[in-house]
Structure 1
Amino acid sequence: MAHYSLTPRVKVLAERLLSQKSTLCTEHATTLNALDGDIAGVPAAVKPARRFYELMRQLPLCISADELIVGNQTRKPHGAIFHDESAVRRPSAFQFLNLNSDLDSPDYKLVMEKGVLAIKHQLEEKTRALGSAVSRSGMDEVNGCRAAIYACDALLALAQNLANSAEQLAAAETNAYRRAELLDSAAILHHVPAHPARSFKEACQAFYLFQLALQLDNGSYAVNPEGADKALLPYYQHDINNGALSPQQAYEIVESLWFKLAELCEVRAACAIDGYPMFDALLHDASLENARINELSDMFLSAQHNLSALHLPVRLFKGVQHVSAAPFAAAGETPAAEGLTPRMQRLRNHYLTVRPSVSIYRALAFTEVVKANPGMPTILLRAKSLPPRLRNRADSDSGR
């Protein structure tokens, strides 16, 4: 199997990334928080997908200089996003694309081979076939289809926004070679993931864009992509056999894809599933001397080998990471309290062992209220920063 060196493009991108300090970006959370009032009347089963669709329409997006596979999760270099506990625990908006009940992973090949528009049209046909459902199960199915359609629209909006950004950058670019690359990226984003990928580069861009959408949704569904070396292999073989791509050009695309996956990061507590278990050969400890892996697997292994020396935040999955319970008292270690019934003792133990929940939204709301009301007493500032639902309840309680 061939050995590939670190490409000049990715070397520059990696050095640029490592020169920047990692920054926590609040735009994602702030935009989500501002959407709650706009979707107040949406059914609970549809609301997460509708919120994500609106987020993809409004979230500022950017494309970094010299990127071949494009799209960033924040506008800040080396920026990280965060999700609150409720977002992490809810199912992903793309759960309807799950491969099967045994594997919690979306069907990347379906997105690349069929295209999001075809998936959306199929969901719309199913919704029309259900008609005006009156039963509870029928309404649940209709709402499930509506949520899935919003998820499809969100992915299409993400691609369209990035395509527009690429066109704007191309219009202002003075370097003819880079201008051509940006226009090519814009053309690709206008085609995928809406339509089936036609080339290896389009398939890699669609793969990454779907991964980016999963990350921006809640991150919990973005940790188990299927084997990319198998999913992308037909596109690689087609372009190589037709002379549309040389192995070195294909490797630059692979290394750019790996680098973009390394950029995706978020702030969250340790969890039982962590990392990116997307490469079957890597999962089984394959090496470059293993002749059983395919040519594309070899490229992914080379990309991992070249970039791992730069200490980029790509983590390989190998087994289940067990979360330490050290910061929290175990239920069995909680001493029994005298005079409590068994039921009250269980409730007390649960209360003492539960992980505390901290939401950034309350802090952001309080900060905005303080800025807008200088000099106001603290107790009134706290009251004004309450969500409308809690504020109305407090007003009704005070009137009694």
Structure 2
Amino acid sequence: MNGITERVHRLQERYLATPPAIDAERAVIITRSYQETEGEPMVIRRAKALKKLLNEMTIWIADDELVIGNQAKVARSAPIFPEFSYNWIIEEMENEPFEKRDADRFLIDEETKETIRGLFDYWDGKKLNDIILRMLPEESKKAIENSGVYTFGIPEVAISGVGHYSPNYKTILEKGFSGVKNDALEQLKQLGIPRDGRDIEKYHFWNAIIMVCDAAAGFAKRYAKMAREMAAGEKDANRKTELLQIAGNCDWVPENPARTFWEACQSFWFLQLLLQLESSGHSVSPGRFDQYMYPYYAKDVKEGLITKEYAQELIECLWIKLSEINKIRPIGATKAFGGYPMFQNLCVGGQTRDGRDATNELSYICLDASMNVKLHQPSISVRIWNGTPEQLWFKAIEVKKQGLGMPAFYNDEVIIPALLNRAKELADVRDYAIVGCVEPGCQGYEYGWSGGTGDAPFFSLPACLELAINNGVNLLTGVQAGPATGDLASFTSFEEVKEAYVKQTQYFVDHFAVITNVVDLAHMQLVPLPILSCAMEPCVERGVDVSAGGTKYNSTGTAGVGVSNVADALSAIKKFVFDDQKYSGAELLSALKSNWEGKEALRSEIIAGTPSYGNDDSYADELARWAAGVYCKQTEECTGPRGPYSPGLYPVSANIPMGYGRGASLDGRKAGESLADGISPMHGKDKNGPTATLNSAAAVDHLINSNGTLLNLKFHPSAVEGDNGTRNLMSAIKTFFDNKGLHLQFNVVSSKTLRDAQKNPNKYRGLVVRVAGYSALFVGLDPALQEDIIERTEITELA
């Protein structure tokens, strides 16, 4: 490994010293374009809006940069995307200042505020969010408002772009936007007069593709011109040479195919940046970077054009650019997705399309770059299979032990069969990438909405159980939220409890599909994505925008939350009411309605005496598998406008706010307390050590969860120190993966360090931790999220 260079250290320090701010420039330019194009086909309007933005937005090149291109006027600033939603920005700006939040604070000056206010009238009633709310059936609106099953309330439905994809960077690297443009021109030539069926839609789509390809090339040439002007006045000879090379790079890419590794890095970055400027979606994931970038690296090394050390410096510069991408979210969302996350997942290792080991020298350089830069982006992951070299294992764990919470580990031996089960081709499946947090998808060929942020809500399994044992009535509000299915006081068998849970889950899965499908249809109509369509196959060939199902594989990924809460609550009901018959169902239900008031002895007995998930106890583990399986099987029966649904079990960090709206539960939770994260046990309930936890997690059916599962652990650094600690970690991960676990991630940090960081944030401004399916700067997290991380069971010994 090469240590961090002085250049990268300066870039890193500048990044950490730059406070995030809100930038209204994009909103102004996009609004003007929309005003100018009223009545034109939407895909053309979107292309013209992007073209205007790329022609007029402020650009800059910072000192020391080798890879250039900016999202906003200042690094780390967040643009505004008024075409998606706007009301919440105005409300927060006036009532809950962005700069005074508990987490994800943004500076905003009075001029920017006035600019934002001035745009509101145009967008009122025209935004994506407005249209979706008008399209939603009333019963689905009530399901959102009354149940607490979903992440958000009515105002927050689909307030941003979707994101959640891994585009085909290889297309732009190998063909350039000029090659994509030529493909569109050829399709138009073959089309001729658009006289049949939907040919007119294809006609407008291909013209939009041509327009954005030209705009992308012109955008880069603006930087080329700026670099040359800067070089003319540069007195440092080395920097002058760099600026001239940067100018040459930007004159050539991304318009044309990349010829060198440096050009490939620049072309990659321009595509990533354009995708972020087009839409406010996050989880735009670089995916298999070590695969599509390796040919350029290998060629340059062979020809003596680049050294390994310089390639690593280029990548580290790129990692800092990825960290500069930012997004403004409503204050409520910062409690679920805190730490300025963008979920740009980049994975190394795994298999080639023909089933051979894919590890190469770039795999190691990427891991070393993350270890040097020590920032939260990209969110680096390692694909593991039976042929993974031991050297990659050691490197990945070495990086993990640095305390960054990265890389996360993914199991090819489960993910590949899970994706094959979704009717995907073997070569595409072997080439899967991880998207966002934990979601596997076929890179460049799959548009699989997933997560729960711009597209679909997260789904609370504990909420369904609460309604199941209380006749469909919300414990906190007393409102009839779900169907009447009886209550715990009247059930005469455990099977009746399970039947009620199945009915409640089915009801809310059905409405989940309605909500998500409405969002899907609205995105098709209002926010087509021509730039993304350039890099998703075979959209251009088909003449169909990515948002309308133009990719080879189309799906909607879901995220179920609170597996262990449901397992432990069902375990308590089964044991105390039906097996031991120590308490009646009425007594337990009464305790929940009182939020355990006056029932502390009962609560303590429930917590201590219930077989709990996370301890390798089949009593609870089988209930976890069953409860999760109900949700997954019902979900995979749903169909969206573009294709089937794919279930997953992960919360990002929505387990915290999703607990706020829940009553007390029979796992011992009090009303408002957090739910468990992912398929992890509730904090403190995993009493039998990490091996038992891994065995419980393996009991969940990971194969059906083709949209991913998430398991979090936390190790004290002393538990994994030295070669022995490395080998013990490797052994634990291998055993979990042999038992058909899909994913594993962990922090290596002490609670003492995290407590000190809470007290002395300036001392720890660069402290990166694993939150959920992503890592973030700890001091930027909401205090409740910080507490959730600290309270995870700290493993002090790994035998």
TM-score by length of 2: 0.37
For residues 261 and 319 of structure 1, what CA distance do their matches in structure 2 show?
19
Matched, 1:114 2:175: yes
AA matched with 1:280: V
Query: 1:134 Cα shift?
Result: 2.5
Q: 1:206 aligns with which of 260, 267, 284?
A: 267
Q: 1:174 aligns with which of 235, 259, 277?
A: 235
The verdict on how the C-alpha distance between 1:135 and 1:90 changes in structure 2, with shifts beyond 3 A counting, is: farther
In the alignment, which residue of structure 2 is the partner of 1:216? 277
1:247-299 deviation line (CA, Å, top 9, x unaligned): 1111111111111111111213559996112223499xxxxxxx973111111
Q: 1:297 aligns with which of 363, 366, 383?
A: 363
The verdict on how the C-alpha distance between 1:160 and 1:292 changes in structure 2, with shifts beyond 3 A counting, is: closer
AA matched with 1:197: A
In the alignment, which residue of structure 2 is the partner of 1:377? none
CA contact (8 A) 2:231 2:244 kept: yes
User: What secondary structure, in the 3-state scheme, does the structure 2 residue paired with 1:280 have?
Assistant: strand
In the alignment, which residue of structure 2 is the partner of 1:158? 219
1:302-333 deviation line (CA, Å, top 9, x unaligned): 1111122xx4554445425666679xx99964
In the alignment, which residue of structure 2 is the partner of 1:29? 27
The verdict on how the C-alpha distance between 1:275 and 1:31 changes in structure 2, with shifts beyond 3 A counting, is: same
User: What secondary structure, in the 3-state scheme, does the structure 2 residue paired with 1:239 have?
Assistant: helix
Note the residue ranges of structure 1 that are not aligned, 5 or more in a row: 93-102, 284-290, 338-345, 355-400
The verdict on how the C-alpha distance between 1:218 and 1:29 changes in structure 2, with shifts beyond 3 A counting, is: same
Matched, 1:280 2:348: yes
1:53-80 deviation line (CA, Å, top 9, x unaligned): 1211111111111101111112224322
For residues 314 and 277 of structure 1, what CA distance do their matches in structure 2 show?
6
Matched pairs, number: 320
For residues 167 and 301 of structure 2, what CA distance do their matches in structure 1 show?
28
Query: 1:197 Cα shift?
Result: 0.7
User: What secondary structure, in the 3-state scheme, does the structure 2 residue paired with 1:144 have?
Assistant: helix
CA contact (8 A) 2:291 2:358 kept: no
In the alignment, which residue of structure 2 is the partner of 1:124? 185
Instruction: Answer 1 or 2: higher relative contact order, Cα 8 Å, separation at least 6.
Output: 1
Matched, 1:5 2:3: yes
In the alignment, which residue of structure 2 is the partner of 1:396? none
AA matched with 1:293: T
Q: 2:52 aligns with which of 41, 51, 54?
A: 54
AA matched with 1:8: E
For residues 251 and 168 of structure 2, what CA distance do their matches in structure 1 show?
21
1:115-162 deviation line (CA, Å, top 9, x unaligned): 111210120121122122123411011111112112212211221111
Q: How does 1:327-366 map to 2 (within 5 A)?
A: 333=474, 335-336=479-480
CA contact (8 A) 1:46 1:147 kept: yes
In the alignment, which residue of structure 2 is the partner of 1:259? 320
1:71-97 deviation line (CA, Å, top 9, x unaligned): 1112224322232435775678xxxxx
Query: 1:175 Cα shift?
Result: 1.7
Root mean square deviation, CA, Å: 3.3
CA contact (8 A) 1:281 1:297 kept: yes
CA contact (8 A) 1:70 1:205 kept: yes
TM-score by length of 1: 0.71
Query: Which is strand-richer, 1 or 2?
Result: 2
Query: Which is helix-richer, 1 or 2?
Result: 1
In the alignment, which residue of structure 1 is the partner of 2:571? none
User: What secondary structure, in the 3-state scheme, does the structure 2 residue paired with 1:278 have?
Assistant: strand
For residues 20 and 104 of structure 1, what CA distance do their matches in structure 2 show?
28
AA matched with 1:138: D
For residues 41 and 242 of structure 1, what CA distance do their matches in structure 2 show?
54
User: What secondary structure, in the 3-state scheme, does the structure 1 residue paired with 2:78 have?
Assistant: strand
Q: How does 1:71-110 map to 2 (within 5 A)?
A: 71-84=69-82, 85=84, 86=127, 104-110=165-171
For residues 205 and 273 of structure 2, what CA distance do their matches in structure 1 show?
22
For residues 126 and 259 of structure 1, what CA distance do their matches in structure 2 show?
39
User: What secondary structure, in the 3-state scheme, does the structure 2 residue paired with 1:6 have?
Assistant: coil
AA matched with 1:263: E
For residues 193 and 74 of structure 1, what CA distance do their matches in structure 2 show?
20
Query: Which shifted more, 167-176 or 274-283?
Result: 274-283
CA contact (8 A) 1:225 1:276 kept: yes
Query: 1:224 Cα shift?
Result: 2.4
For residues 260 and 378 of structure 2, what CA distance do their matches in structure 1 show?
26
Query: Which shifted more, 39-48 or 228-237?
Result: 39-48
Q: How does 1:370-385 map to 2 (within 5 A)?
A: none
Bigger Cα Rg? 2
In the alignment, which residue of structure 2 is the partner of 1:365? none
Query: 1:31 Cα shift?
Result: 1.4
The verdict on how the C-alpha distance between 1:274 and 1:170 changes in structure 2, with shifts beyond 3 A counting, is: closer
